[in-house]
C-alpha cells in the first residue's frame, strides 16, 4: 500500500499488518525483520513510515473506566475522538488535546503530545498512570513512573521505537460543560504578542495565530486566542458543520500573494470580532478538523510543518530573527501557530521546554529546503530544538545537538535489543 504521514511527504510503498490481540501481535513481531506501528497517520512526516508497518487502529477497545476518579484504560488504537464521544457527555475531558482529535492514544503517548495548556499542564505523559508495552521479544512489560520508569520515560515521546504500546491508563479531567469561553486579542507585532502571552499566562488555554508574512513594523503580528472552560451550557454540544477538500489543489494556488491577502483579511476580520464568545470544545481545540482532508490544500507534493521551541530568554529575539528570515524568503507559510510552553519533563525525547514554540506549515517546493536548513542553524544557535513528530528532513547532527538525553535513549534501546526490531524512516535518518 502507498503510505505517508499527514504532510503527504515523503510517500513510500509499505507492507501493512494488523492485529486485534496480543497473541497476534507477538506472532507478527516474531516473523517481521523490523517494523514500526502506524496508527491514525497524523504524525506529519516519516515517524510512522517503514517498509513494514503494523496498523494499530483495529486494536481499539475501551477496557475500564472509574466514574469516580476519571481513570480510563484503553487499547492504543482508541482515538481522542473516541474518548471525547464517550466521556465528554459524562463530564470528563482528556487533559491534553493537540490540534486534531483524529490521533490514537498510543500515538499521542509516543509523541508525548502537548496542547494549548502546556504552560500550565505539561504533556500528556503527566496524566498517564501506566502503560503496557510489548517488547521485541513479545514480552509484555508494565511501566509507569514507579514501575520500570526507564521504559516509561523512553516510551513517552519515544516515537514508537521502544516497542508496541498495548494499553494506556489515562487520567481524564472533570469538566462542567462541552463549551469553552474564548477571547481573541489582536496584537500589532511580535513584541506586543509576546508581551500579551506573558500577561495572560494564567489563562487555562493559550495559543496565537501569527501572520508569518508580515514585515517591518508589523513583523509577527497575530491574534492571541485564550480559552477557559465554560461553567455551563450542557455536556452535549451540537455537531458543527464540516466540509471536505475533495481534490488536491493546483500547486500555484498557495503563493505569497494569495497567502498575504488571506493573512491580512483574517487578521482584520478576527480582530474586529475580538469580544469574548462561547464556543464548543470541538471548535476551540480542533478548528482545522472542520475541513476534512485539509492537507490536500497544499497540492500533490504535500507540505511540511517546521515546528521548533526556543528557550524563554531567547524568545523575542530568536522568534523575530526567524520570522524575518521566513518573511523575506517568499515561501509562505500558510499557517503559523505560537504557543507558550512550560518546563521540560524527564522523558528522553520529549519536545517542549520552557519558552515559545512556533509551528510553520510550508508547501513543498525546491527553495524550501535551503531555507529550512538555515532555520535549523538559527534554532540551534538560540538553544532550541525541533518536534520529531512533525519532522521529515532534519539531520542527525541537529538532533544530537538539541536533545541532551539522545545518547541515553540510544544506549537503552540497544541494551533491550530494540534497534533491531523497531525502526522508521525517521529513526534511520536521525540515527536513533
In angstroms, the CA 32 to CA 421 distance is 8
The cell numbers describing 146, all together, are: 514507579
CA–CA separation, 222 and 280 (whole Å):
22
pLDDT of the chain along its 432 residues, tens only? 999 999 999 999 999 999 999 999 999 999 999 999 999 999 999 999 999 999 999 999 999 999 999 999 999 999 999 999 999 999 999 999 999 999 999 999 999 999 999 999 999 999 999 999 999 999 999 999 999 999 999 999 999 999 999 999 999 999 999 999 999 999 999 999 999 999 999 999 999 999 999 999 999 999 999 999 999 889 998 887 888 887 776 765 666 656 665 666 666 666 665 668 999 999 999 999 998 998 888 888 999 999 999 999 998 999 999 999 999 998 889 899 999 999 999 999 999 999 999 999 999 999 999 999 999 999 999 999 999 999 999 999 999 999 999 999 999 899 888 989 999 999 999 999
Angle at CA of residue 7, ends 6 and 9, nearest 5°: 120
3-state helix, strand, coil in the chain (%, to 5): 35, 25, 40
Return the domain boundaries, the chain.
Answer: 57-175, 179-391
* Cell representation of residue 229: 472552560
CB 406 within 8 A of CB 399: yes
CATH topology of domain 57-175: 3.30.465
CATH value of 179-391 in 3.40.630.30, 3.30.70.2520, 3.20.20.150, 3.40.640.10 = 3.30.70.2520
CB 38 within 8 A of CB 28: no
Return the half-sphere exposure (C-beta side, CA atoms, 13 A cut-off) of residue 260: 13
In DSSP terms, 133 is beta-bridged to 141, 165
The answer to whether residues 323 and 397 touch, using CB atoms and an 8 Å cutoff, is no
Give the cell for residue 115: 496542547
Rounded to a whole number of angstroms, the CA Rg of the chain reads 21
C-alpha span between 37 and 35 (Å, rounded):
7
Q: Are 271 and 11 in contact (CB under 8 A)?
A: no
Handedness of CA 18, 19, 24, 26 (dihedral sign): positive
Amino acid at each position: 500500500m502507498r503510505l505517508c504521514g499527514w504532510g503527504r511527504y515523503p510517500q513510500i510503498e509499505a507492507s501493512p499488518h494488523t492485529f486485534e490481540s496480543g497473541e497476534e501481535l507477538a506472532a507478527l513481531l516474531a516473523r517481521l525483520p523490523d517494523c514500526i506501528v502506524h496508527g491514525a497517520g497524523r504524525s506529519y512526516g516519516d515517524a510512522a513510515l517503514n517498509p513494514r508497518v503494523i496498523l494499530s487502529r483495529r486494536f481499539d477497545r475501551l477496557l475500564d473506566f472509574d466514574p469516580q476518579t476519571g481513570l480510563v484504560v484503553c487499547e492504543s488504537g482508541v482515538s481522542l475522538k473516541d474518548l471525547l464521544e464517550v466521556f465528554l457527555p459524562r463530564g470528563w475531558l482528556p487533559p491534553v488535546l493537540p490540534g486534531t482529535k483524529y490521533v490514537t492514544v498510543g500515538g499521542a503517548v509516543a509523541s508525548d503530545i502537548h496542547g494549548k495548556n502546556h504552560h500550565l499542564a505539561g504533556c500528556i505523559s503527566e496524566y498517564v498512570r501506566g502503560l503496557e508495552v510489548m517488547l521485541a521479544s513479545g514480552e509484555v512489560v508494565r511501566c509507569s513512573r514507579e514501575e520500570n520508569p526507564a521504559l516509561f520515560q523512553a516510551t513517552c515521546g519515544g516515537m514508537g521505537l521502544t516497542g508496541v504500546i498495548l494499553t494506556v491508563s489515562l487520567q481524564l479531567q472533570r469538566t462542567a460543560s462541552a463549551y469553552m469561553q474564548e477571547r481573541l486579542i489582536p496584537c500589532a507585532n511580535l513584541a506586543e504578542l509576546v508581551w500579551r502571552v506573558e500577561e495572560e499566562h494564567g489563562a487555562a488555554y493559550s495559543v496565537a495565530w501569527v501572520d508569518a508574512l508580515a514585515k517591518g513594523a508589523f513583523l509577527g503580528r497575530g491574534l492571541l486566542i485564550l480559552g477557559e472552560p465554560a461553567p455551563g451550557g450542557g455536556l452535549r454540544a451540537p455537531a458543527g458543520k464540516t466540509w471536505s477538500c475533495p481534490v488536491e489543489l493546483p500547486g500555484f494556488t498557495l503563493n505569497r500573494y494569495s497567502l498575504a491577502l488571506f493573512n491580512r483579511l483574517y487578521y482584520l476580520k478576527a480582530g474586529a470580532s475580538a469580544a469574548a464568545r462561547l464556543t464548543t470544545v470541538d471548535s476551540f481545540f480542533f478548528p482545522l478538523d472542520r475541513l476534512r482532508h485539509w492537507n490536500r490544500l497544499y497540492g500533490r507534493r504535500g507540505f511540511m510543518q517546521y515546528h521548533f521551541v526556543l528557550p524563554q530568554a531567547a524568545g523575542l529575539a530568536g522568534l523575530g530573527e526567524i520570522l524575518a528570515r521566513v518573511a523575506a524568503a517568499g515561501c509562505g507559510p500558510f499557517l503559523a501557530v505560537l504557543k507558550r510552553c512550560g518546563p521540560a519533563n524527564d522523558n528522553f525525547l520529549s519536545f517542549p521546554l520552557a519558552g515559545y514554540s512556533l509551528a510553520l506549515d510550508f508547501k513543498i517546493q525546491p527553495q524550501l529546503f535551503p531555507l529550512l536548513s538555515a532555520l535549523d542553524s538559527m534554532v540551534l544557535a538560540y538553544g532550541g530544538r525541533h518536534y520529531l513528530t512533525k519532522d521529515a528532513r532534519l539531520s542527525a547532527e541537529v538532533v544530537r545537538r538539541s536533545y541532551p538525553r539522545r545518547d541515553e535513549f540510544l544506549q537503552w534501546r540497544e541494551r533491550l535489543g530494540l534497534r533491531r526490531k523497531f525502526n522508521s524512516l525517521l529513526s534511520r535518518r536521525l540515527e536513533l
